Structure 1
Amino acid sequence: MSGDHTKALIGQLIIFNQILGELREDIREQVGCVCVGLYKCMHAACMCVCILYVKEMSLIRNTILECQVCGFHDPRSRCSPNPCFKGLSCMETFDYPGYRCSPCPEGMTGNGTHCQDIDECSIAQPCYSPGACINTVKGFSCELCPPGLWGPPLFGVGLEYANHHKQECADIDECIEVANACVPHSMCTNTIVSRNPFQICLLQCMYSVKSSQTRHRSLVTM
């Protein structure tokens, strides 16, 4: 009789659980879901809200006990040790992976966990001569203007700065700046320097035609 009684009790429990399951689905359709304790209704299912992050608990369907007890399963901080790039701050969140890093430093790009340098030289080309741009860990710097040109030095950090600041090099008029640029009885002609540093011409000193003819006639007279 005990065996038959047990089977009958199990059968009643199965029917009872089926009724509870149907009732649960009806309640979910009306109000979303009904949760107790530390469980919260999220996406029409009871989820265990624990310290530091949300852990989804699998529902045991067709049974009286649907959820496990929500415990303090992982008291460790998601920001210890700091998973972010060196120097960045870490903030714990309820979203995966449980933390968020502050933005990468200026002049670098990445997700906060990993940051890499931005090559302002190749992207923005801020220097007068592309080959004179030096990319640094957090920025760029331009070499001095080519010979025959003058301009202030330029260096900075970030693409925005490099896009809005360009190195300017102006031609130097050596005929004015350089004293005695040419020998006596000659004419100094300033040339416009090319952007190509291999095509730079600083000075052209030419004897004037009048001066040459005068000197030639005086020699003939002598």
Structure 2
Amino acid sequence: GKTCDSDVDECAQFNNTDLGCQNNGRCINTPGSYRCECAAGFSGIHCRLREMICEKYNGDELCGHGTCVSANNIHNYTCICDVGWTYTNSSPACVIDINECELHTNPCHSECINMPGSFKCGPCPNGYTGNGITCLDVDECAIDNGGCSLIPKVNCINTEGSYHCGNCPEGWLGDGHICIPAPSNDCTSENICHPKAKCEYISDTVVCTCPVGLSGHGFGENGCKSEIATHPCENHECKNNGTCEVNGEGTRCICPEGYMGATCEKNDACHPNPCSNGGSCKLAPKNKYRCACQRGTTGKNCEIQREICGSVLRQETGEVIYPPEG
């Protein structure tokens, strides 16, 4: 004005210019001048200076398990999380533990134990050696033929996480761990039958036949009795609901699942099948059992499934995708 009595509104004059209030600062006109009220996180005459919130406050309080870094967002900072930690959508603070043991990210061979910001692996399962993250198959056949028969020599077949024995050679009986000579026709070396009974090896089964004048199933000291039976099976008692049948001149028991032996008196360790995930059960000495596991499973009963690394692929061509989909 002519007499300089009209105040200039600098807020309107400098709006959207370098002389105006920056970074959403609020301009307040004053007589002969103006001032800026800065938004949170900014300072200075024109609100150009960003406050270093990471230096102003304790970075650990702001970020937890992470490093505070200034950023142009509603918080004026962001956090670079330490390994094993992450943040939520509502806060940049690194306070959420990452579960490294999730099924599709499990870094261990089998057992994974999640810990705050980290993890540890359980020991390698039976049949493997290593540190729990990497477990290599143990070749059981390399030492003492894996426990398979040496006399006669039976092939030991190494499998992933386990092994199994081949069949006993012709003329021998057993599961491959132990092979015994097949019984001769008189069975004198076996002492299976009654002393007066005739022993025969018919269709892979020992059959004891009592002599004329005696009757019974023929097995053991009480297998032949002087009572005359109207039917050969009357004196051949099959236990545990076994069924007696005539076999040649003698009798034998057909045992139900779960039982075995000449009179079905022994429990069959492989019934019901204790092996999980399609594993097959094989009888071992002293009526114990051993599971032959399918590829990708391990453990005494094939109960451990290996979801990620460690499987053996033997195809000539193919495609490997990691991490697994789904």
TM-score, normalising length from structure 1? Answer: 0.49
In proportion to residue count, which structure has more helix?
Answer: 1
**Of the two structures, which has the highest relative contact order with CA contacts closer than 8 Å and spacing of 6 or more?**
1
In proportion to residue count, which structure has more strand?
Answer: 2
